[in-house]
Structure 1
């Protein structure tokens, strides 16, 4: 008795293990979104660009400090039999080894302008990174919805084929009993075969859609899984300014920064310098030619052919173009959001009628199935009822998929 219990326990454990192995793993939409973000090299690229911009800001700050350089040069101009360079000019030879220090006294505003430009660049990179995330999520969600719809179609076709096969066995026996004609049985058999072909086509379509989902998400493990129905909700716009308007704000800040840069180019420049070391012609007491010097340079623009005015005119044209694009986008954006909301509302209005049609079609199949068992129904009428139910289910499925994709579009643009 004891051995029987042990054997039974082992058998149950083996069955449980086999059931667990046979069961398809489950994946959700969030799993694919995380996988896509982790696999995409684009986000690492933007992260590196942000770091590079941070290094640019450090370089700009370093350029504001005194710049120290070392330099050395030597020269020898021989005079052979009276031929050669004039020694009054060349001294015949020269050697210098110097340590130079330069410092721009009026560079603070220029450095601040350069740092502001780098900050605008980082904001632009941050915007592009976020836009890439939104685009990737939108594409993944769309493809996930498509793959889930294909999976749902496979499951529905499989259930329908199982139902028809069950009825086919009964109809075959009724045909042998001369309750139904051979032609009616063949009509039903053709319908069954068509549904089996539809099931195979649905499975192929699901494999294709599922492979595309894995491709977009960068998934290397293409083991077939069970997709969970996506749950999408309308995301409300929380921010005061829409996300897509930030690109126009960034472009506007770029123009302002360029205008300030042009103005700074026409301001006076003052720098001081100093050097110390060895500088000698090597002619008279070269061992005493160690020394130092200090000085300054000052420059102020006076006339350049009105280039400053021309550059401002170019910036004005750029601002006018940017304003036109901003206004056009805002109009199109508002129209697009209104259109998507209307389409969602119209789609919601279909559900009541579709569900009612499905309920009636399913009820008709149940009644016809009972009549079919007694031989009181034409097979053609039963096939017609099945086709009506199939059409209603397909309409419901397509309507649901369309609504999910509309919600995905709305959430994308409603930022």
Structure 2
């Protein structure tokens, strides 16, 4: 590698090095919940449903007050007594051209203030509002479930970033160690203890290591940007992520996932109750006051008021209430079946994850032991290089093998953390 190219590589790697800023998993999961459109939509839908409860209470229990106004002009052409004349408001014409006075009343002049007050309607308002209260609870449950989903996705992505960082840290250590070894071998080449080809092999390995380091830094940048996207963070700054060590959560006593089925069942019952409202008697108080006239000259004497009661009570509609109850019962059975099916599947799912995690302890222990042995071996090789007793090829082969074990160990640790995250997700 030429000196110019070497400077370009070092400059590129330096520009990709994470900044000193530190962020932890909690920062990303909290921001993800705050910025999730699905969580935000369900929060607002829950609020809207509670507002609808207030509207229904007003609709069923509060008086409805309004103004009714009508002006109807129905003139005729009268031919009574042999005289033809235009009458805007006929009082008692017998022979005429125009709308039948009995049908049109000769016109109408109406301006009234009306009031309709539902009576004894508090139970009806409570039943109608219950449906939207349950809907609000469903939205709250969806907020929790959506936030839980987002948290799992963000945590998985965070673990992927941690895996990249582990590889970067290890290659960073090599990038600091190999130049020292090159300088030592160069002196030994000058002393004819090692060949020029040995130095060339070290140079090639160093260049290969720089390329790998650049690849992992690029991967970290990509994965970190994906983490920002999942969290809804508008930021392209490179930061250091604090390490995490997830632990298995205790067995959940009451699963939040099962709350969904409980609320679905309650919603079906609420819908049935709302449907049956029309079979309850409805009594309204009706009142009005104002003008109601059909003959213009008598308008001043046609100011008055009226009050009355209206009762609505359905008697028969083809047994629709019973049919709808049967439908609701069928749907309730479907909810119960889905709930039990989820319980069965989730029990097996969690057992599978725990069984898989059981093998990771031994695998991690073996990998750590191998890394420790390689570290001891490399330290011994460094001493042998000083005296020219070790082949550079053997040293580089051992270095590559350790790098492979380090990569596998980082992957193993990440997979274990992802499995723990999956178990904690379902054990909730």
Give TM-score scaled by structure 1 length: 0.88
Which of 89, 112, 122 pairs up with 1:98? Answer: 112
1:62 matched to 2:58? The reply is: yes
> 2 CA distance for matches of 1:91 and 1:219?
72
Asked if 2 retains the 8 angstrom alpha-carbon contact of 1:273 and 1:296, the reply is: yes
- Post-superposition Cα deviations, 1:69-88, rounded to whole Å, max 9, x if no partner, equal 22111111111353211112
1:327 to 311, 327, 340: 340
Aligned to 1:49: 45
Per-residue deviation, 1:24: 1.4
Match of 2:155 among 141, 156, 166: 141
In the aligned structure 2, how far is the partner of 1:390 from the partner of 1:145? Answer: 20
Query: Which whole-Å CA distance do the structure 2 matches of 1:67 and 1:405 have between them?
Result: 60
> Where do 5+ consecutive residues of structure 2 fail to align?
1-17, 79-95
8 Å contact 2:112–2:291 — kept in the other structure? yes
| Native 8 Å contact 1:158 1:199 kept in 2 | yes
Task: Give the 3-state SS of the residue equivalent to 1:285 in structure 2.
Answer: helix
Match of 1:295 among 291, 296, 308: 308
Q: Which residue matches 1:8?
A: none
The answer to whether 1:206 aligns with 2:202 is no
**Unaligned residue ranges in structure 1 (runs of 5+):** 1-21
Counterpart Cα distance in 1 of 2:183 and 2:256: 61
Q: Which runs of 4+ in 1 moved over 6 A?
A: none
Which is further off, 30-39 or 226-235? 30-39
Change (3 A) 1:259 1:54: closer
Q: Which residue of 2 aligns with 1:19?
A: none
C-alpha distance in 2 between matches for 1:285 and 1:28? 85
Tell me which residue corresponds to 1:11.
none
CA distance in 2, matches of 1:230, 1:98: 74
Pair 1:247-2:244 in alignment: no
Q: Does 1:152 align with 2:149?
A: no
Corresponding position: 1:161 with 2:175: yes
SS, match of residue 279 in structure 1: strand
> 1:255 Cα shift?
0.9
> Counterparts in 2 of 1:4-43, with a 5 A limit?
24-43=20-39
SS at match of 1:80: strand
The equivalent residue for 1:272 is: 285
- What displacement does 1:41 show? 4.5
Q: Distance in 1 between matches of 2:118 and 2:33?
A: 46
- RMSD across aligned positions (CA): 2.1
User: Which residue of structure 1 lines up, in the alignment, with residue 143 of structure 2?
Assistant: 129
CA contact (8 A) 1:275 1:292 kept: yes
- Alpha-carbon displacement from aligned partner over 1:151-207 (angstroms, at most 9, x marks no partner): 221121121122222212222332343323344443333322221211111111111
2:183 equivalent to 1:172? no
Taking the aligned partners of 1:78 and 1:112, their CA distance within structure 2 comes to 52
Q: Is this contact kept in 2: 1:161–1:192, CA < 8 A?
A: yes
Distance 1:124 1:409, change over 3 A: same
Asked if the contact 2:39–2:142 (Cα under 8 Å) also holds between the matched residues in 1, the reply is no
Shift of 1:237: 4.1
1:80: which partner in 2?
77
Query: Which of 195, 204, 207 is the aligned partner of 1:181?
Result: 195
Count of equivalent residues: 393
After superposition, where does 1:350-369 map in structure 2 within 5 Å? Answer: 350-369=363-382
